[in-house]
Structure 1
Amino acid sequence: MATTQYRIVSGTDSDIHDEPHLPESRLTVREIHAHVDERDLRPETIADRFNLDIADVYEALAYYHSNPEEMRAAEQRHERANAVASERSSMTPPNDA
């Protein structure tokens, strides 16, 4: 079975993210997947909106679906970070009692 070579920058090799993203871009594979698969935007729309080659969008989607464990781990890290940020930015002052 052939091994697929991706241009995607892995989270461990990235200087800007802890998750896979397009080279020379801050746009993550997870974000592209969310735009296309969860928000029902067409890959062409994402390419136009973010000034990407359409092949980059499809490569990110292929990477997402070919690496489910890595993407699940990235999503869990993102959810934990959001939970921590939400707790820290609460508008309710702490009890001094």
Structure 2
Amino acid sequence: MTITSDEEVLGGEPRIEGTRIAVRHVAGKVIDAGHPPAYVADQLDCSLASVYEALSYYYDNPEEMRAADRANAAAFERVRDSSIKPKEPIS
């Protein structure tokens, strides 16, 4: 197990090798949502060791994780701004 990055997968965001599970997703489920690591491992169908490795990477690389959060937020805004919007109601 290891954490890897590849521009071809998840836009280069750090992830658990051999999966599309981003470190940021694991951290969000454990830290932000308060789920136990064993529960997260079960839900993501990965090993408990992978969850702990992702958490370790998250804490060891705070600047990279903040940059990933900013990039994700910017991508979300671009998609939201370009999405089809409902027509204005006729008054």
Is the structural similarity TM-score above 0.5?
Answer: yes
Kindly state the Cα deviation for residue 15 of structure 1 after the two structures are TM-superposed.
2.6
The answer as to 2:9 corresponding to 1:16 is yes
Question: Residue 82 of structure 1: SS of its match in structure 2?
Answer: helix
Q: What residue is the counterpart of 1:38 in the other structure?
A: 32
What do the CA deviations read for 1:31-50 (whole angstroms, capped 9, x no partner)?
Answer: 00000100111100011111
**Higher strand share goes to which structure?**
2
Percent of pairs with identical residues: 35
Counting only pairs closer than 5 Å after superposition, residues 1-97 of structure 1 correspond to structure 2 as: 7-10=2-5, 13-17=6-10, 18-92=12-86
Where structure 1 has 5 or more consecutive residues not aligned to the other structure, the ranges are 1-5
- TM-score, with length taken from structure 1: 0.82
**Higher helix share goes to which structure?**
2
Where structure 2 has 5 or more consecutive residues not aligned to the other structure, the ranges are none
- TM-score, with length taken from structure 2: 0.87
Runs of 4+ in 1 over 4 A off after TM superposition: none
Question: Residue 15 of structure 2: SS of its match in structure 1?
Answer: coil
AA aligned to 1:87 is D
